[in-house]
Structure 1
């Protein structure tokens, strides 16, 4: 027997950084919110785990103190090429390192304390009809709402049903993440390039080092397994070899994710407001995907609040406003990410680029600034 549909002001599909942040934000204004997430908490995710300080004011507004959770303050940056040329810079705005395991769980506990309705389930279909949404799940639940936020991550079966353009395109990237214990500065985030990819290194809570690299999947398949690929490709970068070889693994085995797409996405699909990776992914070489997810949640939530309060007169105006806010906040970041990643994918060009940056040291902070944003203003 089918369950009686339940009605909400907002349904959020996906309980990552964007979805959880939106749920807390909207609940503060008394709206009836449903969060649908298929996984349990806490859970590790493949992620660089470095976040720009731009989001600290918003996290404080949500009631999250990342430094009480053990986050590491980061204000230095290193970049190396496959031929082991190294460039260093200060981070003017700075950031912090914290695992998704810890941050997601802290946000989830906050969601629970805000009396947001949460359901462990997978969304199979979303229909928009008569200026409202009907959301159907794998467990035969049906929910209705005025607004739907899509915050379900990099790719999903829902993208197929929505016929999103990027889902039909080739997604050739594979990402690998592990946590280790070893010697690495608390205040440093490093990006070390190797042939066909690059690896981010930074400290998170509990004196743990996060190592997360991305590579071309076709190139990776030429090797027997992750260990063989690392030995024969990744460790050609001596900085990475030193870190990996002198560290003890925390995870039993690395986490992996494939079919990663950096193709352009649309922040509105079938009237669903997309946030975080669901709306667009920046190349990890430029970092800050976690910050983008949190910032997009703030932008979407504020506009949705104004719409539900009648301050924004129509859904059309709401969607246009979010599209504009997204482009203003992230359009340049995504373009810079594509350009920088393309440059560093060409090994010889990467060496030339690093030589130029060494000769003109003021250029690197300017590039970093394009992806770090400014401290968020909370309305």
Structure 2
């Protein structure tokens, strides 16, 4: 029987795995894909994570992350404004970063099952039974859910957010573009918004949230982009004057920002699986890393006791997670109302231009502090 099985090998899953394995626990990580692989993600990380990553030898300096210091906002019509990012951040692809952390996990002694999708998780008699492909079953004392924004497991657990249809799709490209290397931009269009920022090797990440209804209306990603995103002249320039590096975009359906619970049926949720913030300046990646630090620390603390008190661990994690992230997620959901509308996006650009103290306060409340 494993001490801990982690379902999902993104940022939260990998960092949980590394820290727990380094503490001497028997850790298994199950990932449905094979590293390296692309994920729909903004690929910008707030600098709040740097002290933690450096402390644990996990800062990917070898990959040459790109420092980013300024934020640009444009309205649907193309009006723009810029402001400094007080804390700043760095750009790096998930393709490179996740593979880097996967190598660290192997070095730490994590048992990694790749190309493996968990079919079912059942809790009974104070342990979990996981069903893998071909009806193989494995047992584990604890399970961490770190499988991202949406999974079949969410449906099997009847998680509340799954029952509520989301209006969003997420689309990501890598490209070579004419754009300042130290800037992250958020470009509004009708029904959504698109972020662009530099990553490693001179490439840029462009990732947007669009409308499922627009995709149905226009019939394809490309047709939707030309009809809707091109209305913003900044986006039209990016789409028509850049060199795109993917044969086709990475796409995810039903991106939901509805509240989630950090513990479901005794499974400890981490990263996006516990709660997804709206993609404003890269908080999702920073939050995933911070949530892994929080959860792994509590697990190690509770495992040091003579008997693992599951209820105490779950209560401690729920309380700590809520204290750290609940307000941040709430602010993110409300700030999102400033995006995707012609009229309101004009107000948002005006706010950044003329009322900078308020804009900075919003930025601070959607970001964490260095940890």
Same fold (TM over 0.5): yes
Report whether the alignment pairs 1:242 with 2:237. Answer: yes
The structure 2 residue matched to 1:265, chosen from 260, 269, 276, is: 260
Q: How many residues align?
A: 370
- 1:42 aligned partner: 36
Change (3 A) 1:352 1:65: closer
- Which residue, 280, 292, 296 being the options, matches 1:297? 292
Instruction: Note the C-alpha offset of 1:50.
Output: 0.6
Q: Which moved more, 1:49-58 or 1:357-366?
A: 357-366
Cα contact 1:286–1:337 (8 A) shared by 2: no
1:287 paired to 2:268: no
2:136 corresponds to: 141
Give the match's secondary structure for 1:174.
strand
Alpha-carbon distance between aligned partners in 1 of 2:318 and 2:232, rounded to the nearest angstrom: 40
Instruction: Note if contact 2:170-2:252 (Cα within 8 Å) is conserved in structure 1.
Output: yes
8 Å CA contact 2:15, 2:293 repeated in 1:
yes
Per-residue CA shift, 1:159-191, capped at 9, x if unaligned? 111111111111221111101112221111110
8 A Cα contact 2:46 2:281, kept in partner: no
Offset at 1:116? 0.9
Matched residue of 1:221: which SS?
A: helix
Cα 1:340/1:311, change in 2 over 3 Å: farther
1:321 is aligned to 2:329: no
**1:187 and 1:311, CA in 2 relative to 1: closer, same or farther beyond 3 A?**
farther
Contact kept, 8 Å, 1:148 with 1:273, in 2: the verdict is: yes
Q: Which residue of 1 aligns with 2:167?
A: 172
8 Å Cα contact 2:214-2:224 kept in structure 1 = no
- Report the 3-state secondary structure (helix = DSSP H, G, I; strand = E; otherwise coil) of the residue aligned with 1:135: strand
| Corresponding position of 1:3 | none
Secondary structure of 2:88 counterpart: strand
Q: Quick check: 1:128–1:271 contact (8 Å CA) kept in 2?
A: yes
SS at match of 2:25: coil
Cα deviation for residue 233 of structure 1 reads 1.1
In structure 1, stretches of 5+ residues that fail to align are: 1-6
CA distance in 2 between counterparts of 1:21 and 1:43 reads 17
Q: Which moved more, 1:242-251 or 1:17-26?
A: 242-251
**Consecutive unaligned residues in structure 2, runs of 5 or more:** none
In structure 1, distance between residues paired with 2:367 and 2:222: 33
- TM-score, length-scaled by structure 1: 0.94
- Of 97, 116, 121, the residue aligned with 2:110 is 116
Q: CA deviation at 1:286?
A: 5.1
SS at match of 1:284: coil
Change (3 A) 1:249 1:271: same
Per-residue deviation, 1:349? 2.2
Determine helix, strand or coil for the equivalent of 1:239: helix
Q: CA shift at 1:312, angstroms?
A: 9.0
Alignment of 1:25-36 (within 5 A): 25-36=19-30
Residue aligned with 1:183, SS: coil
Task: Identify if the C-alpha distance between structure 1 residues 63 and 311 changes in structure 2 by more than 3 Å, giving closer, same or farther.
Answer: farther
CA displacement at 1:130 relative to structure 2: 2.1
**Shift of residue 311, structure 1, vs aligned partner:** 8.2
Residue 158 of structure 1 corresponds to: 153
Kindly state the Cα deviation for residue 197 of structure 1 after the two structures are TM-superposed. Answer: 0.6
- Provide the TM-score with structure 2 as the length reference: 0.96
Q: CA deviation at 1:71?
A: 1.0
Deviations 1:105-144 (A, max 9, x none): 0011111111211112111111222222121112322222
Shift of 1:287: 3.2
1:226 corresponds in structure 2 to 221
Residue 310 of structure 1 corresponds to 305
Q: What SS class does the counterpart of residue 285 from structure 1 fall into?
A: coil
Report the secondary structure of 2:277's partner residue: coil
Tell me, yes or no, if structure 1 residue 69 matches structure 2 residue 79.
no
Higher mean C-alpha displacement, 134-143 vs 309-318: 309-318
Distance in 1 (alpha carbons) for counterparts of 2:179 and 2:60:
20
Partner of 2:325: 330
